[in-house]
Amino acid sequence: MTRGNRGERIYLDDIDRHDFIKRLAEACQKTGWQVHAYCLMRNHYHLVLETPNANLVAGMAWLQSTYTIGLNHRQQDTPQGRERFERLMGARRLEETDEAALKVFRRGWCLGSPRIREQRLQQSEGKLGEHRSGGLRRETAEAKAERLVEEELRSLGWTQEDLATHRKSDPGKLAIAAGLRRETTLSIKAIAARVQLGASKGANSNLHRWMRANAGENRAQGQLAI
């Protein structure tokens, strides 16, 4: 259960409720959460989640801060306010998070080499959702990112070396980065390093422009049903 500060309302109308559900769907896409039940009250909400991956803290931090930004700025609904809100939301989605601060909350162990662990993760992919077992699988954001990068490289016909030779603003590299941002909780700094986009500040700007230019495609890919 999560409650508003000082017991204040966190949903003012149905628009706020619909936006919260939309943000929750985005969080599920990023984290792999499975929502079994939810209840939105006037000043708090209840969620019953299954978290196959050890990312509850990172996902909740993203969900609550993103929704709160939207709520605060919808109360000042003017053309200028909407434009500013759009900029802030874009920056919020791309901003860095402190990965070191989240590591203390992560749990999980595995006997064997890293290669064996990777094979076990791949073998268990998707099984938790089918059987609702909860299991013991713990796919970190880094492991998921590696899998996504490998898939995108194959789709582009690239190798790992191509990430270093293509320019920082290459559309293919930015598409990979956008996928990581959309489907994992990695920070922009970690994504920039993995896809070789240069410094995080420049990567932030390039990725934000690319996502704005491809907003229609991103929305289509992000449509989820909870």
> pLDDT tens digits for 87-124?
655 555 555 444 554 444 444 444 445 565 555 555 54
Instruction: Report residue 210 as tokens.
Output: 């690319």
Higher pLDDT, 2 or 57: 57
Please give the share of the chain, as a percent, with pLDDT higher than 70: 64
Q: Report the pLDDT value the prediction gives residue 155, as an integer from 0 to 100.
A: 93
Q: Which residue has the higher pLDDT, 70 or 40?
A: 40
Triad 131, 134, 140: Cα angle to 5°: 120
- Per-residue pLDDT averaged across 13-40, rounded? 90
Residues 35 and 47: beta-carbon distance below 8 Å:
yes
Highest-confidence range of 54-58, 143-147, 152-156, by mean pLDDT? 152-156
Winning range, highest mean pLDDT, from 66-70, 140-144, 198-202: 198-202
Q: State the chain's mean pLDDT as an integer.
A: 75
Q: Which amino acid is at 84?
A: R
Which are the contacts of 100, defined by CB distance < 8 A and separation ≥ 6? none
Q: What is the pLDDT of residue 188?
A: 87
Lowest mean pLDDT among 110-119, 128-137, 163-172: 128-137
Question: What does the pLDDT read at residue 12?
Answer: 84
Higher local confidence (pLDDT), 69 or 179:
179
Model confidence at 226, in pLDDT bands (50, 70, 90)? very low
pLDDT, residue 130, reads 41
Q: Percent of the chain having pLDDT more than 90?
A: 32
Integer CA distances (angstroms), 125 to 28, 118, 170, 193, 218, in order: 16, 11, 31, 26, 24
